[in-house]
Chains A and B, each alone.
Chain A
Amino acid sequence: MPLALQSRLIPFSLKGTDGRTLRPEDFAEAKVFGVIFTCNHCPYARAWEDRLIRVQRDYANRGVRFILINSNDPVKVPDDSFDQMKVRAQAKAYPFPYVFDDTQEVAKAYGATRTPEIFLFDESRTLRYHGAPDDNYEDPAAVRHQYLRDALDALLAGSTPPTPETKAVGCTIKWK
């Protein structure tokens, strides 16, 4: 089961592609903090990748910070190795840290099962949105419901996201 809405953020400490080890406390200034499970190889994650980059850029100066976590077993999926994560982060000029959940304990703690899967926390680090970035992985022009952007707008305005939970759609996390 995924982390329930209104739950507190679960701490973690993971190494990023830039060599730094990051913890949620490193984002203490963020008004909204997004923990996003994703990976390199999955076509759903890749289909939404540019949109997540755009959302991070659009909301960066409003106190929104995302951290991307790859929990896949690189033995099963070599494209999701730490080295390949570095290549991807650099090639796409990620505006967010990309960290490796080598033990898969963070994904298990959050109850994440798909890539991508978003857990969005408010300023008190309470979970306020969980699910997909929007309602159309296939075509950005055909999106009708911008779940993530709507949740961010609501939280930044001090209100409740209009759709607090959606089904995370994507590849399954590849467990060891």
Chain B
Amino acid sequence: MKYPLPAWGNTLSGKDVSGMREMRVEFLYWEDCPSYAQALLRLREVVAEEGVNSEVEVIRVDTEDQAQQLRFLGSPTIRFDDVDMAPPVDQSYGLSCRVYLTDDGRVTPLPSKEMIRRALRSAVRTREV
């Protein structure tokens, strides 16, 4: 499914991004961590709001072997063009619920829309270089 572009046009930080909209967006989750549905909803909203016309690849991780193979850093994991949205210092793969830190230092299992948006914009800027 392709996401409709916002009514205000193909803009991201005021730039025309129409030529760079085929970004790979991956969402990996483990069902044991209950916030994944909310995280996926936020990701899809951000992708649509930012005018990135990519399909979100949703990947369910069920086993430790899969977690290793998919470089799964915990649920939920979001990657843009194969780059994790918030690379942790300790990159250990496995079935776990993932810790995110809010801007004011609180722990949360659920990345905010702003965190996702910043990471997406950073990925777009990387493409521009």
Q: Which residues of A contact B (CB under 8 A)?
A: 41-44, 46-47, 49, 77, 137-139, 169-172
Contacts and interface: CB of A to CB of B under 8 A. Distances in A.
A168 B98 CA distance: 18
19 contacts: A43-B98, A43-B99, A43-B107, A43-B108, A44-B34, A44-B97, A44-B109, A46-B107, A47-B106, A47-B108, A47-B109, A137-B35, A137-B110, A138-B35, A138-B109, A138-B110, A171-B32, A171-B96, A172-B32
B100 interface: yes
Contacts of B106: 47
B12 interface: no
B33 interface: yes
B39 to A, nearest CB: 11
Interface string B32-48: 11110000000000000
A172 B96 CA distance: 9
Contacts, number: 36
Size band of the interface chain B makes with A: 10 to 19
Nearest to B111: A138
B97 A137 contact: no
Contacts of A49: 107
A171 B97 CA distance: 7
A42 B99 CA distance: 8
A41 B108 contact: no
Given A43-B99, A47-B109, A172-B32, 7 more contacts: A49-B107, A137-B109, A138-B35, A138-B110, A139-B108, A171-B32, A171-B96
A121 B4 CA distance: 52
A47 B33 CA distance: 14
**Most chain B beta carbons < 10 A, residue from A49, A138, A170:** A138
A77 to B, nearest CB: 8
Contacts of B108: 43, 47, 137-139
A4 to B, nearest CB: 23
Contacts of B107: 43, 46-47, 49
A98 to B, nearest CB: 17
A169 to B, nearest CB: 6
Interface string B67-79: 0000000000000
A44 to B, nearest CB: 5
Given A47-B107, A47-B109, A41 B32 contact: no
A43 B34 contact: no
Contacts of A170: 34
Contacts of B32: 171-172
A170 B100 CA distance: 14
Given A41-B96, A43-B99, A44-B97, A169 B110 contact: no
B17 to A, nearest CB: 30
